[in-house]
């Protein structure tokens, strides 16, 4: 074989690689879980944040507010950005930004730095969650493609558990019919 034919075949082999749908599901679910956990845990930690930073609880409540506002801003723009950059690229950028800003929040020396890092964290987290469902739906094999009921995760859990539910997706969404 000539070197030209080897180079010509290399991109075809790389593009035909199949991703493991289980790995995709775990990564997407873990990222979404961390974002939801981060949204709620700051409320619980507000008194400790206020004491550790030497500020009042009213000032410390900006930690939650800045995160939620930046999260809402990127949430509305995530559809446009995912189409422009591609879902996978956008998800990975958001995941990296969320992870890096979470680390920086842990090392924030004062309240102003913490607020800046929480804004960045909100941008990263707010972009991850809406794209996660579509990535999960696209990870299913095309041969098993059926119309999704409710959303991707309940439909995936429904197939994975092998159980049928009389009520359908709402019970799976709540977790009562999944197992």
Please report the pLDDT score of residue 24 as a whole number: 87
Please report the pLDDT score of residue 46 as a whole number: 92
Please report the pLDDT score of residue 9 as a whole number: 42
Quick one: 125 exposed, middle or buried, by C-beta within 10 A (0-12, 13-18, 19+)?
buried
What is the three-class DSSP state of 162? coil
Which long-range contacts link 59-63 to residues 24+ away (Cβ below 8 Å)? 59/111, 60/111, 62/111, 62/115, 63/111, 63/114, 63/115, 63/118
The conformation of residue 150, written as its DSSP 8-state character, comes to: S
Question: pTM, whole model, 2 decimals?
Answer: 0.70
Stretches in the chain below the pLDDT threshold 50: 1-15, 148-149, 166-179
- H helices of 86-168, where? 87-106, 111-138, 152-161
Please report the pLDDT score of residue 135 as a whole number: 87
Distance of CA 40 to the CA centre of its chain: 15
Please report the pLDDT score of residue 99 as a whole number: 95
> CA triplet 27, 30, 33: central angle to 5 degrees?
150
């Amino acid at each position: 074989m000539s070197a030209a034919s080897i180079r010509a075949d290399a991109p075809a082999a790389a593009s035909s690689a199949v991703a493991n749908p289980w790995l995709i599901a775990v990564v997407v679910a873990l990222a979404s879980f961390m974002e939801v956990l981060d949204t709620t845990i700051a409320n619980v930690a507000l008194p400790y944040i206020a004491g550790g930073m030497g500020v009042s609880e009213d000032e410390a409540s900006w930690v939650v507010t800045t995160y939620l506002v930046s999260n809402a801003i990127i949430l509305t723009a995530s559809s446009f950005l995912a189409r422009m950059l591609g879902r996978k690229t956008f998800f990975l950028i958001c995941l990296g930004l969320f992870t890096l800003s979470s680390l920086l929040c842990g090392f924030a020396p004062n309240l102003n730095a913490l607020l800046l890092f929480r804004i960045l964290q909100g941008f990263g987290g707010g972009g991850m969650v809406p794209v996660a469902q579509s990535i999960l739906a696209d990870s299913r094999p095309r041969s098993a493609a059926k119309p999704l009921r409710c959303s991707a995760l309940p439909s995936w859990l429904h197939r994975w558990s092998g159980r049928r539910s009389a009520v359908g997706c709402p019970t799976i969404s709540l977790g009562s019919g999944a197992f």
